[in-house]
Structure 1
Amino acid sequence: MVERTRLDLGYEFRDPSLLQRALTHASYVNESSEPLQSNEVLEYLGDAVLDMLVAEALVACMAEAGEGTLTRLRAMLVAEAGLAQVAQEIGLGEHLRLGRGEEAQGGRERPGLLADALEAVIGAAYTDGGLEAARTVVNRLFGPRLAQAAATAGIDPKSRLQAVVQAHRHLTPSYRLRRAWGPDHDRQFEVECLVGDDVVGTGRGRSKKEATMAAAAAALEKAAPPLDAEPPPRRKEPAGGGKP
């Protein structure tokens, strides 16, 4: 019988054995008398899926950033150190199945092993439920980091705001022209920024684009409650699906 594994992934596996396989290190397989599979193939798959989904998310929330910036941010987000930190935050190490030797050498806290296991979990989600399942897991685990990356990478206020709002509220900010005035040679515009139905910032400028950027900057600085406030904690469900 497959044991239920509690991980806060935001996704419930239809086939819990895939998640268990994602948490099974080769050292455990080598020491087991059972015909088991390690997580190496799922890790390979998850590595490719993660790269694609992080790239997709970056383009969605930072469409105006250049290719060089997007490439640099993606590399930072999927680097071993970052993946290991995400794995530690969700307590992935305590669920790993390790051989006695790997366990004795501190494998549950080894960054490379944790990063590989996290990629395997993403690969397992993809195998279990397709791209949408993997996207759900990646958004759950990496959403706040995408927002932080935008804020620290010199991205314009509109793109930064979109990253923050999508990560924490799962919405996309919208903008509307409130008013325009002045002669053609000195036209002024006022734009409102909305999240859902709420006006969260207002900006003025000599063009609609300039006013939009000002509205986004105002939203980042003055919104109350903060747009990047952590959402209420969600009750953890068994990632393996069903009830224990």
Structure 2
Amino acid sequence: MGRHGNIRGKALTALLFIVLEAAALFMVGNSDIIHRQWAMRGIIASRAALFGTAESINDYFRLRKTNDSLAETNAALMERLYQYMSLLPAQETDTSHTAFPGFELIPAKIVKGSVNRQDNYFILDKGENDGITTDMGVITDKAVVGIVDAVSAHYSYVISFMSPEMNISARLGHSGITGSLVWDGKGSRSALLSQIPLHTEIIRGDTVYTSGFSNLYPADIPIGIAEETEIVDGVSLNVKIRLLQEFRSLRYVNIVRNPSKAEIDSLAL
């Protein structure tokens, strides 16, 4: 009886060993499958990330091309608007506005610039080969950006409005009174309209426009909003102006060509 018990015990031990070996082999096999599955998932995730990055890069360059096209379209539309306004009879326009002269607009992109200095600048991707010369104005639909100071074959250097040497002839929308608009040096959206007669009624929130008393910029470009005023030497007013254009976000501008500039300059001498 003891002998049979020993045989039975050894058989059970052997059977248990076989079962455990089979379970171990099964787990190892499944582990390889799991490892392969995780590896495949990693490969798929890497491919997805790579393809997503590539598509994002493609989208970026497509967006740049779209922005360039939109800038050209915007310049053409602005030029047509100026031409249309200059042809309207006086009774069909606001009599406080000067008729738009025949300016030509050349779209350009800012490739370099500064907004944090005392003397700021922009470099544009248009130069002599594009018909750009010095002393051309640079604008957007809501700002006088500056004036072209130097040109090369493919680029132009622009003195920014955010520089002490720049001043613009501007007028108050309500009264039509003109003054000199300069950057106050305190921020990218603050300026000062000076030389305003003391008796002038200043309406807070009034829109300030280019006056048209310049052959560099078209008249009636809205450029800012009137805020506080201060009396200067008891004879004139300074008006704080909130600029409409955020210079920090500028990327596309229009260079202004005035075909009549040389003739006007010859008479002004």
TM-score, normalised with respect to structure 2: 0.26
Q: Which has the higher contact order (CA 8 A, sep 6+)?
A: 1
Q: Which has the higher strand share?
A: 2
- The structure with the largest alpha-carbon Rg is 2
Q: Which has the higher helix share?
A: 1
